[in-house]
Amino acid sequence: QVQLRESGPGLVKPSQTLSLTCTVSGGSISSNTYFWGWIRQPAGKGLEWIGRIYNSGSTNYNPSLKSRVTISVDTSKNQFSLKLSSVTAADTAIYYCARVLRFHNQALDPWGQGTLVTVSS
Amino acid sequence: EIVLTQSPATLSLSPGERATLSCRASQSVSSSLAWYQQKPGQAPRLLIYDASNRATGIPARFSGTGSGTDFTLTISSLEPEDFAVYYCQQGLTFGGGTKVEIK
């Protein structure tokens, strides 16, 4: 079955750019049935959508983060990536990648295990 | 922008009891709603999609109903492993979550 795994630095300095990669295994990121998404969760708080990407490179972002977010896809590596610029302590969170069910109202299944990113000097 | 309001924030129940969780949308979303379970230290897991369809491997004690603006997730008889936080989701929006805790 398909599995997703996030990777990237666990510590980012304020004002710098957070960069994460999600590697998809057991399935093709080029499938027409899915989008691929990023979600985050600050400690002890709820879930926040960051954005999603289709295999063509078409993206949709959370309006509250849109000015700082870039999501890209590399179909040759079966990976998609997140960049979040000008980070502050408020961006400290667990970051999850997930497969988005394109024809089921964007339900998310499965999710990666998540990776903690801390913004601190 | 659609806002999803979940209630109650916390539900205190005993194993074997029935749990009823609510998710209300600020405007009609048809049947475009999903439910997730999250246990401490774990990623969320999809339970229900399209308001009423159980995801693969989800036990039959979990059921989802509703359409338009009002949705319900029901756990017919709580098992010890069901005590967790539950979120609803529509598009790019999540509800604030309901914690189901042991009474």
Backbone angles phi, psi at A4, to 5 degrees: -125, 145
**pLDDT, tens digit (0-9, with 9 covering 90-100), for A80-90:** 999 999 999 99
Q: Report the C-alpha gap between A6 and A80 in whole angstroms.
A: 10
Contacts of A52 in chain B (CB under 8 A): 92
- Tell me: pLDDT of A79 over 90: yes
Instruction: Identify the CA nearest to B44 among candidates B30, B32, B58.
Output: B58
Subunit contact B43:A111, Cβ cutoff 8 A: yes
**pLDDT, tens digit (0-9, with 9 covering 90-100), for B35-84:** 999 999 999 999 999 999 999 999 999 999 999 999 999 999 999 999 99
Contact B34, B48 (CB under 8 A): yes
Lowest-confidence range among A47-51, A67-71, A102-106, B16-20?
Answer: A102-106
Contacts of A109 in chain B (CB under 8 A): 45-46, 49, 55
A45: closest CA of chain B, how far (Å) = 8
A10 pLDDT tier (thresholds 50, 70, 90):
very high
A112 pLDDT tier (thresholds 50, 70, 90):
very high
- Tell me: pLDDT of A44 over 90: yes
In chain B, which residue's Cα lies nearest the Cα of A104?
B50
